[in-house]
Amino acid sequence: MTITKYFPKKISLSTLIIFAFTSCQPNTTNEQTIESLLSQMTIAEKVGQITQIDHRFLDDHSDITDYSIGSLLSGGGSHPKENTLKAWVDLYNGYQEKALASRLGIPLIYGIDAVHGHNNVKGATIFPHNIGLGATGNADIVRLVSEATSSEVAATGINWTFAPCIATPQDYRWGRTYEGFSSDPNLVLKLGVAAVEGYQSANKKNQRKVIACAKHFIGDGNTVFGTGIKNLVDRGNTIMTRETLKETLIPAYQAAVDAGVQTVMASYNSWNGVKCHGSKELLTDILKEEMGFEGFIISDWQGIDEIPGDYKSDIVTSINAGMDMVMVSGEGEPYKKFMALLTEAIEEELIPMSRIDDAVARILKVKLEVGLFDEPLMDYEYLSEIGSKKHREIARDAVRQSVVVLKNESILPLSDSTKEVRWSKIVVAGKGADNLGMQCGGWTIEWQGGQGDITEGTTILEGLVENAPPGIEIIHDPRANKVKGDVAVIIIGEDPYTEFFGDRDSLNLNKEDLQVIENAKAQGMKVVVLLTSGRPMNIANHIDNWDAFAAIWLPGTEGAGISDVLYGRYNPTGRLSFPWPVQAEEGTSSSSLIYDMGEGLSYE
Ligand code: BGC
Ligand code: BGC
Q: pLDDT tens across 45-69, in order?
A: 999 999 999 999 999 999 999 999 9
Residues 155 and 209 in one domain: yes
Integer Cα distance of 558 and 331 in angstroms: 34
pLDDT value, residue 419: 60
For residue 190, tell me if it sits in a domain. Answer: yes
For residue 146, tell me if it sits in a domain. Answer: yes
Among 384, 411, 441, residue at a domain's last position: 384
Integer Cα distance of 476 and 483 in angstroms: 9
Integer Cα distance of 455 and 473 in angstroms: 27
Residues 418 and 373 in one domain: no
Distances (CA, A) of 249 to 187, 227, 252, 253, 408: 12, 20, 6, 7, 36
Q: pLDDT tens across 357-366, in order?
A: 999 999 999 9
Among 384, 412, 441, residue at a domain's last position: 384
Indicate if ligand 2 lies below 6 Å from the C-beta of 77.
yes
pLDDT value, residue 9: 35
Catalytic residue check, 300: yes
For residue 394, tell me if it sits in a domain. Answer: no
For residue 603, tell me if it sits in a domain. Answer: no
Phi, psi of 526 (to 5 degrees): -70, 150
Of 244, 141, 238, 251, nearest to 185 by C-alpha is 251
pLDDT > 90 in the chain, percent: 92
**Residues of the chain scoring pLDDT < 70:** 1-27, 204-207, 417-421
Residues 444 and 340 in one domain: no
Tell me, in angstroms, the distance from the centre of ligand 2 to residue 77's CA.
Answer: 8
pLDDT value, residue 22: 44
Indicate if ligand 1 lies below 6 Å from the C-beta of 179.
no
pLDDT value, residue 28: 75
Q: Is 200 left (phi over 0), alpha (psi -120 to 50) or beta?
A: alpha
For residue 313, tell me if it sits in a domain. Answer: yes
> Structural domain of residue 411, as residue ranges?
403-595
Total structural domains within the chain: 2
Phi, psi of 44 (to 5 degrees): -60, -40
Integer Cα distance of 348 and 371 in angstroms: 35
Residues 579 and 496 in one domain: yes
Residues 336 and 442 in one domain: no
DSSP result, 26-47: TTS-HHHHHHHHHHH--HHHHH
Indicate if ligand 1 lies below 6 Å from the C-beta of 113.
yes
pLDDT value, residue 423: 87
Distances (CA, A) of 393 to 348, 389, 458, 600: 57, 6, 12, 24
Out of 499, 503, 513, 564, pick the active-site residue: 499
Residues 417 and 448 in one domain: yes
Which ligand is closest to the CA of 448, given by its number? Answer: 2
Choose which residue among 301, 304, 329, 448 to substitute to test ligand 2 binding: the one with the highest number of ligand atoms within 8 A of its C-beta.
301
For residue 397, tell me if it sits in a domain. Answer: no
For residue 25, tell me if it sits in a domain. Answer: yes
Indicate if ligand 2 lies below 6 Å from the C-beta of 330.
no
Residues 195 and 242 in one domain: yes
Indicate if ligand 2 lies below 6 Å from the C-beta of 119.
no
Q: Which residues pair with 538 in a beta bridge?
A: 508
The answer to whether residues 433 and 459 touch, using CB atoms and an 8 Å cutoff, is: yes
Q: Is 191 left (phi over 0), alpha (psi -120 to 50) or beta?
A: alpha
Q: pLDDT tens across 384-394, in order?
A: 999 999 999 99
CATH number of the domain bearing residue 257: 3.20.20.300
Mean pLDDT of the chain: 94
Q: pLDDT tens across 181-219, in order?
A: 999 999 999 999 999 999 999 776 666 789 999 999 999
Residues 24 and 95 in one domain: yes
Integer Cα distance of 372 and 111 in angstroms: 13
Residues 496 and 465 in one domain: yes
Residues 573 and 439 in one domain: yes
Atom of ligand 2 nearest to the CA of 498: 10
Choose which residue among 52, 55, 447, 498 to substitute to test ligand 2 binding: the one with the highest number of ligand atoms within 8 A of its C-beta.
447
Residues 379 and 407 in one domain: no
Tell me, in angstroms, the distance from the centre of ligand 1 to residue 553's CA.
Answer: 21
Residues 211 and 343 in one domain: yes
Q: pLDDT tens across 546-591, in order?
A: 999 999 999 999 999 999 999 999 999 999 999 999 999 999 999 9
For residue 392, tell me if it sits in a domain. Answer: no
pLDDT value, residue 547: 98
Catalytic residue check, 374: no
Among 353, 384, 415, residue at a domain's last position: 384
CATH number of the domain bearing residue 541: 3.40.50.1700
For residue 184, how far is the Cα from the chain centroid?
19
Integer Cα distance of 33 and 38 in angstroms: 8
pLDDT value, residue 15: 46
The answer to whether residues 103 and 12 touch, using CB atoms and an 8 Å cutoff, is: yes
User: What is the CB neighbour count within 10 angstroms for residue 206?
Assistant: 17
Out of 179, 300, 314, 564, pick the active-site residue: 300
The answer to whether residues 202 and 234 touch, using CB atoms and an 8 Å cutoff, is: no
The answer to whether residues 406 and 533 touch, using CB atoms and an 8 Å cutoff, is: no
pLDDT value, residue 564: 97
Distances (CA, A) of 557 to 130, 166, 550: 14, 23, 18
Judged by DSSP in three states, 101 sits in coil
Enumerate helices (H) and strands (E) in the chain, giving the number of each. Answer: 19, 19
